[in-house]
Structures are given as C-alpha cells and as structure tokens.
A and B are shown apart, each in its own frame.
Chain A
Amino acid sequence: MGSAPVSEPLLRLRGVTKIYEPDGQEVVGLEGVDLDIHSGDFLAVMGPSGSGKSTLMHIIGCLDIPTSGSYEIKGIPVSRLSPEELARLRNREIGFVFQVFHLLPRYTALRNVELPLLYAGVGREERTGKALEALRAVGLEDRRNHLSNQLSGGQKQKVAIARALVNRPSLLLADEPTGNLDTKSGDELMEILTRLNGEGTTIVLVTHNQAIARRAKKVVYIIDGRLVAKEEYRELRE
C-alpha cells in the first residue's frame, strides 16, 4: 500500500531524540526516531498513551525541537531555527487538528478559520474569501457566523480542519481528531480527511485507535519513544 516513494521526502527525521527534564530527572520522550514522510502520504502513528506519540507530533509540528537528531521540512533543518522561524513554519507549512479542538470560544467559526491568515499577514478581504472557501471544503459555510462554542463537537472539529487547511500547508497534523467525537461524527470526519488526502493533502494522524489508524494509507507504531514493527507492537500490547 501507499504511493511510490518520491526522491525527496517532505519530512525527514533522523535519530530524533527528545529528553525532558521536568524536575531534574531525565525522561525520554523519543529515542532515535527515523521517519520519512512524503508528499501525498496519509500516515497514522499508533501508540498507547505515554508512548511518545504526542512528543513526535509536537516535533513534527514544530511546536518543539528535538534534543538531538535532525528533522527537516522540505530540506529545511528545523532544529536550528529560532522561535520566530518555527512560528513561521507552523503558520505556513503545518495545519493542526487537536483532540480537544482548540478553537477560540468567543470567536465565530469564520474568525477561527481566519486566524492563521491573520498571522500570515493576509489582508482582510482575501482572508475572509479564503476562510469561507476552507469552511465550504468541510461543508460548514452556513455556520460561519456561529460562535465556536455554539457548535457541536463534530462541527467544531470540521472548523478546526478548515483552520488547519486555510493557509494551504504542506502537512495536516491531526492528534486524536476523533477522540472527543461520537462514532457518527468520527466517521464523517475520517471521510473528510480521506477525501482531502485524495485531493493531495499530506496527513499525519496520531491515534491509539486501531479502527481509525486503518483508514490511513500507512501506519507506524510507537512504544516507549521508539518506532517499532507492527508485530513487535502487537506483542508488546498483549
């Protein structure tokens, strides 16, 4: 399964290690992760809670930088970037979808979607146009003037997807996007993600749910901060 590997991957992780020191005690979040993600991929990262999949997502999403190892987006070495440049990468290259939606509650759906454009310095009219287009892509154009806390969970997550896509990023990063949704909304959401991937969006999905992971084109397994083979994962899980 999966598309044929392209010569240059979109994301390249080599020996990525992340060590936390919350109280002077070293905690290993990730250990020597090698991973290539190509343009057009739909990759699921599976792992139990505490396995390091969130850490991986934060590093892929440029919310954090690795302690050691290298990570490149389109050939740009991320670990050497300043906080300002990381913000720019998050803004232009990555769209986030979180389990708990993370919408601004007092903002309308439209303004939530506009947010990344705001920080990209896009002018008002163009901003509204692009945000409406993104809302249309997830079928929520008619909810544009609803405050986000007036929306159902499924609708919130669709708004989040619209927000993630509005800047046309290289990568859509979803962290347990169906975790707070009922089955029906979850299915609907996965259909949207599948469709978006069909239209060319690269997606990395972090989940501990086998059924969700199965919708991806490719699955990697992570346990105790290391990527492991499917069989090893099964063994360790049982």
Chain B
Amino acid sequence: MATDLDSFVNHTVSIITSDGRNFIGTLKGFDQTINIILDESHERVYSTTTGVEQVMLGLHIIRGDNVAIVGLVDEDLDNRLNLSSIKAEPLNPVLH
C-alpha cells in the first residue's frame, strides 16, 4: 500500500531512480502515483576512482514513474559514514 510511505514523511529517505541515480533528502509528501516531494535533497554520485561526491540540489518533485526504491535512512548510521572513502560503481539504469 502506498500509505506505508506515510511513516517515512518528514524523515530522511534515500531514493533510487530508474536512471540509476541516488537522491537523499527529507520526504515531505507523496501521492498515489508515488510522485515525491524531497526537501533539502542532495545526489550521491558513486565512482570507483574518487569517493562519493555529494551534489546539493534543494527542493525536488520526483515523478513516480522514475522512482525505483524509497528507503528510510538511519541518520545516526549515515552520519558515521565516511563518504570520501566509499568507492563503488554507479548503478545502471533500469532496463524496460
């Protein structure tokens, strides 16, 4: 049920979109098509050579069509991450 997302509202969430990008931000709202309002958001860009790069973005509406995963972020754990030491392949886009 879409209403399960209710418990994530006003919490930090990590969204993986179908083009393989990762957005982090505060979930401010959503609707029945999983269009999402993400406030104070940033994108995490993964790379195998340099660490994770964070791009500040601000207020976003992400269209539900492109949302693959919405995950609740454990903020304590997330704050302890040393992003500059994390190296990873970027995700591939979803193949339709």
Q: Tell whether A and B belong to one assembly.
A: no
Interface residues of B (CB under 8 A from A): none
Interface residues of A (CB under 8 A from B): none
